[in-house]
Structure 1
């Protein structure tokens, strides 16, 4: 399976913007859904790009099954992320002015993409997500975030994303020199909270 490269663009025109935000939807969601959050983020003047997963899912199974069970969908999804970032770079926007916001399955995909080729982007907010795999395979991850800010916010408990995986992911990201903030909200449900939006604005989109 290969995801069709389907990109929703809103905000400032890409060839006029100096900053860009990549928004990645969760399982069963859509690019249209996730970009509805953009007006609540401090991203005025940003180009906003949201890739759309084929059949509204980036990969078929839990992010915590053996990675091979989510192939070839996972590799195809990572390629969509790479294509999205490359389109931004081709428009002349510097790496340090590219930002990310992902929710649930989209948060997992965002973190996996970033950690496999760590660079100093502008920052990333991952709401209810962690690195992908039955166990975290540290050898997959390399590069240097150069103290790029990353927010990992989650609910506890969460049926899809165990709190321990969020902690383990944070440690891997710190090992790649990211400035990671973890925030756990008790019994908040599998959703995006206003508090998480506010925190992302303070830490990432400042």
Structure 2
């Protein structure tokens, strides 16, 4: 389990962590249409066939920004100083949300700092459900990061719609349902971090209890000598 500090620093986005399903998913008439922009910077570091951001772009569910293009809304970036919280709803509703589409393996060479967003945000602790990083803390794909932000800021239906475009998408909500609900009921970034800390500490305690409860069987050599 990563520490709180590590989980915050690692809460950037790995867009290459998706499946190879086709783009046959089409928007139904009862789907919610966002009245704010959802965008990404694509640094062309990922396999286009496995990139969740690219698939969202093909489905016209996300706008691709130029590398040096500014974005006025909430930006998910490791250079952020605050966590996404329900308090960010006004920013999302009026100016939108954007994500950095890059590879985890090349994060150090990606000029993220040059974006200089006005509303840079970190994602709190969440577990990835994408096929490549399934079960790993914080290594979310583009669509998971966007969905998490939408969910926390109160756009839960829209979050599910974005995830539904991927065969594995429903698993993200299932894996993180409890903590996402907790985050979505917080007041601000500080309370999100406080809840994150409690959640991580509880998970660590549960892991320790599980280890203690596991029977310590003697080795075969020891059994033979008895």
The question of a shared fold, defined as TM-score above 0.5 by the shorter chain, is answered with: no
More strand as a share of residues: 1
Instruction: Output the TM-score relative to the length of structure 2.
Output: 0.26
Q: Which has the higher contact order (CA 8 A, sep 6+)?
A: 2
More helix as a share of residues: 2
